[in-house]
Amino acid sequence: MIVTLIIACEVAFWVLLAAGLAARYLFKMPRTGLALLLCEPLLEVVLFAVTAIDLKDGADPDWKHGVAAVYIGFTVGLGHSTIKWADAWVAHRFAGGPPPVRPPKYGAARAVHEWRVAGRWITAAVVALALLQAAIWYIGSDGDTGSLRTWQTRMLFVIGINVVIGLNYTLFPKKAPYGEKSALPARDPEHVPDVLVGRPRKDEQ
């Protein structure tokens, strides 16, 4: 049941995203589109509630409950940026908006970008760790929590890998080829209030 619900939540995520963007840009119904996009977090709430009820009813904790916690964590950490990216792409493709900003390639700007990406993955892993730990406490010392602790170890590995990637770009920045100007830092869609993320203005270049 848990696995089926996870698959259903993933399918529903993309269905709601497609429906919300279609309503926003194709049918010119921005409020309806926004309402559909705001339904996305409800999927994680449903999955969390069903998983908690399953454990409360005496189900033995196993890899399925770990996957549910990890899925929720990664949706929290990466879902918003995925929606931002899709919104910018659809706006450019169907509503005459500017093309999505490409990440910088070289130097400190690339390092900052990599740390932002790493931050999203680390956030996802931390949320998953917290949910897994909550499940372990909920089950108590009498239950077998080995599978949940295995998932915690994997999340620590995810955090470590992303820290290493960020440090690599910081300590050993990628240099632009001779004669090619280093790209200016791209504006992060996460920090732009407008849904459409445009190119830098001429005075910013």
Q: Is 50 exceeded by the pLDDT of residue 147?
A: yes
Question: Which pLDDT score is estimated for 83?
Answer: 95
Alpha-carbon distance 128 to 68, whole Å?
9
For the ranges 19-23, 55-59, 128-132, which has the lowest average pLDDT?
55-59
Mean pLDDT of the chain: 87
- Region 12-23: mean pLDDT is 96
Q: Is 70 exceeded by the pLDDT of residue 198?
A: no
- Region 134-153: mean pLDDT is 89
Question: Which pLDDT score is estimated for 135?
Answer: 92
Model confidence band, residue 181 (pLDDT cutoffs 50, 70, 90): low
Q: Which DSSP symbol is given to 193?
A: S
Task: Give 39-50 pLDDT, tens digit per residue.
Answer: 999 999 999 999
Question: Which pLDDT score is estimated for 179?
Answer: 65
Q: Is 60 exceeded by the pLDDT of residue 191?
A: no
Question: Which pLDDT score is estimated for 109?
Answer: 94
- Region 120-139: mean pLDDT is 95
Q: With a threshold of 0.85, does the pTM exceed it?
A: no
- Region 5-32: mean pLDDT is 94
Task: Give 54-111 pLDDT, tens digit per residue.
Answer: 988 888 888 999 999 999 999 999 999 999 999 999 999 998 899 988 999 999 999 9
Q: Is 88 exposed, middle or buried (0-12, 13-18, 19+ CB in 10 A)?
A: buried
Alpha-carbon distance 111 to 105, whole Å?
9
Which residue carries 């963007």 as its tokens?
21
Question: Which pLDDT score is estimated for 203?
Answer: 44
* Side-chain-side CA neighbours of residue 110 (13 Å): 17
